[in-house]
Amino acid sequence: MGRSPGPIVILCNHLGFQSHADRVRGFCQFLVEKAPGWHVAEVVEGGDDRMHSELRLREVFQKHRDTVAIYNVGAANIGVARAIRADLLDVRPVFVGHELTSNTAAFLREGLMSIAIDQSPELQVRLAVDLILRHFAFFGHDQAPFPLETEVPTVLYGPENIPNPLPF
């Protein structure tokens, strides 16, 4: 999606948070194996706080004005958008983040965000609560047993496939 290879900035909550560390590690491994010329300039720990993440990204953008992409593995998409809008970079970067929300849908429509990787958090929560309720026999015995395996879809959203209305 990028115009040309170059530096990438990754934003995460904290590398001590296993799912974020796994995403960062997997992304870096992919770059090494499949994307010559692309490299991670910095990994920024923003604590999933939009204000702190924005400030940290602005600092990084001033050091790496040639940043071509940002991957936010966490929840501070608003902070990323604000940092991009500050126009500190030579060109507007590719911006990939997680979850389709009203904010990320707006960023996608605007062309600020490139892709939202949606892992259906609403469905994950519903399935988890349902599993807990069934575990503690909240439901009657006449209901169908909870499936042993469940699939929670991961959907990539871009400007072209944003559902209307949004699925939450």
Low-confidence residues in the chain, pLDDT < 70:
124, 139-150, 168
In a domain, 164, yes or no: no
Asked if the structure places residue 94 within a domain, the reply is yes
- pLDDT the model gives residue 146: 58
The Cα angle at residue 79 between residues 57 and 59, in degrees rounded to 5: 15
Domain tally for the chain?
1
Extended strands (E) in the chain: 7-12, 39-45, 69-72, 94-98, 115-118, 155-157
Rounded Cα distance between 73 and 70, Å, is: 10
Q: 136 in a domain, yes or no? A: no
What 3-state DSSP class applies to 136?
Answer: coil
CATH classification at residue 24: 3.40.50.2300
Structural domain of 12:
7-98
- Say how far apart CA 109 and CA 150 lie, in whole Å: 31
Q: Is residue 31 in some structural domain?
A: yes
Query: Tell me, what amino acid is at 37?
Result: G
Give the pTM: 0.85
- Answer yes or no: is 57 within a domain: yes
User: What pLDDT score does 35 carry?
Assistant: 93
Give the pLDDT confidence of 95-141 residue by residue, as tens digits: 999 999 999 999 999 999 999 999 877 776 777 777 777 777 776 65
Nearest-angstrom CA–CA distance, 125 and 71 = 24
- Specify the residue for token string 């400007």: 159
